[in-house]
Amino acid sequence: DAKTTQPNSMESNEEEPVHLPCNHSTISGTDYIHWYRQLPSQGPEYVIHGLTSNVNNRMASLAIAEDRKSSTLILHRATLRDAAVYYCILRALGGSEKLVFGKGTKLTVNP
Amino acid sequence: NAGVTQTPKFRILKIGQSMTLQCTQDMNHNYMYWYRQDPGMGLKLIYYSVGAGITDKGEVPNGYNVSRSTTEDFPLRLELAAPSQTSVYFCASSVQGRETQYFGPGTRLLVL
């Protein structure tokens, strides 16, 4: 599985947008970019995923660079409930079933 | 739907004891997984199953066993508990192997 690089931690203020970066310079053409998050003392939960085009859902937006070597998870208005560890994960189409978790980015949201 | 449920929530074991961590899902998912998460780290896959009667090893299977007799249940067995197995254990399920995984709330295990 190709590797991803994320900052260890980020801070944001409540009701402000948050941009969580992820670098994946060795991404292959069939790798999907997935984001999961883990709230304190809970299991991970799916946030969003994409291949090439930007994606939006009710939780977040995913902006993918044109060369696909980086992506950004965007929370449009952070709330205190968004404080979590965010994981950027590559999954190959036709590849392994497992999710490979790195250490992720710990997001702190200040009131 | 309850989703993925795990029992117990917390357990303390003595070295050498055995126990079974229970995992049940009510979403009729074919795939089920067991992960462990050590403090400050990401999750690592222990075992997974692609359907009843079929299991396979993940990254860190040593010291664990699994079985999958039904679609709903995927228990994880620790035969001889060791301090290195102190961790939080998460069960997950998905419709197919490369679809979204849904996680349970976790079981915190302390081996002393």
Quick one: pLDDT at residue A94? 62
- CB–CB of A97 and B50 under 8 A? yes
Q: Does the structure show a pLDDT above 90 at B26?
A: yes
Strand-pairing partners, residue A88, are: A35
**pLDDT, mean over chain B:** 94
CB B94 within 8 A of CB B101: yes
| Nearest CB neighbour to B103, from listed A43, A95, A104 | A43
Task: Concatenate the DSSP letters of all residues of A29-93 into one string.
Answer: TTEEEEEEEE-TTS--EEEEEESSS-EE-SS-EEEE-TTSSEEEEEESS--GGG-EEEEEEEEET
Inter-chain contact B42–A46, Cβ cutoff 8 Å? Answer: no
Give the gap in angstroms from C-alpha B33 to the nearest C-alpha of chain A.
8
The mean pLDDT value for B49-61 works out to 93
Q: Which of A42, A45, A104 sits opposite B42 (nearest CB)?
A: A104
Local confidence band at A1 (pLDDT 50, 70, 90 cut-offs)? low
Query: Which pLDDT tens digit goes with each residue over B78-90?
Result: 999 999 999 999 9
pLDDT confidence of residue A2: 64
Confidence check: pLDDT of B97 > 70: no
Picking from A43, A87, A102, the nearest residue to B106 by CB comes out as A43
Region A10-25 average pLDDT: 96
Mean local confidence (pLDDT), A5-34: 94
Confidence at A62, pLDDT banded by 50, 70, 90: very high
Chain B interface disruption, residue of A6, A99, A100, A103, most B CBs within 10 A: A99
pLDDT of A96: 61
Encoded amino acid at B107, one letter: T
- Residue A10 CA to its chain's centroid (Å): 13
Distance between B105 CA and the closest CA of chain A, angstroms: 5
Q: In the numeric block, which tokens belong to residue B98?
A: 């490369």
Asked if B81 and B17 touch (Cβ cutoff 8 Å), the reply is yes
